[in-house]
Amino acid sequence: MTTPRELLESYLDDALGESETARLEQELRRDEELRRRLLAVMGERDRGEHTVGAIWRRHRLSCPSREQLGSFLLNVLDAGLRDYVDFHLRTIACAYCLANLADLQAQQQADAAVIQQRQQRVFQSSAGLLRKR
């Protein structure tokens, strides 16, 4: 399997989709040369690759912030930024941002359950006071 350097770098950046990651990991188990190439890329990174592309990927400059992802969930972003975040998540399928989004969604659902329980307790305690009068 001929694997471009960009694919290996995307793998190291955790920027591949699940199926691509699984395929590459299977190939890495079988192909000694591919493992050597991956180690070489890792070594170059450890020495500090300082190209614009490497810095861009390392610092995730294209990724929306967690705050922007939260605003995206609440549908309160302006149209341009909303379109960009949607493109980044759906088309680019950035694994890092999709994981952040999933975490925010889980947190939002947990918060909704807590709020509902709190409202129910207040209602029950208020209903008991209203019946006494």
DSSP per-residue letters across 100-118: HHHHHHHHHHHHHHHHHHH
Is residue 38 pLDDT above 80, yes or no? yes
Compute the C-alpha angle 5/26/7, nearest 5°: 15
Q: Compute CA distances 15 → 30, 37, 120, 124, whole Å.
A: 22, 18, 43, 48
Is residue 76 pLDDT above 70, yes or no? yes
Type of residue found at 82: R
Contact yes or no for 2/34 (Cβ under 8 A):
no
Biggest CA-to-CA distance, the chain: 82
DSSP code of 75? Answer: T
- Each residue of 99-129: pLDDT tens digit? 999 999 999 888 877 888 888 888 777 665 6
Q: What pTM did the predictor assign? A: 0.54
Q: What is the mean pLDDT of the chain?
A: 85
Per domain, the residue ranges of the chain are 1-61, 62-120
Is residue 133 pLDDT above 70, yes or no? no
Q: What percent of the chain has pLDDT over 90?
A: 44
Nearest one of 40, 39, 12 to 96, comparing CA atoms: 12
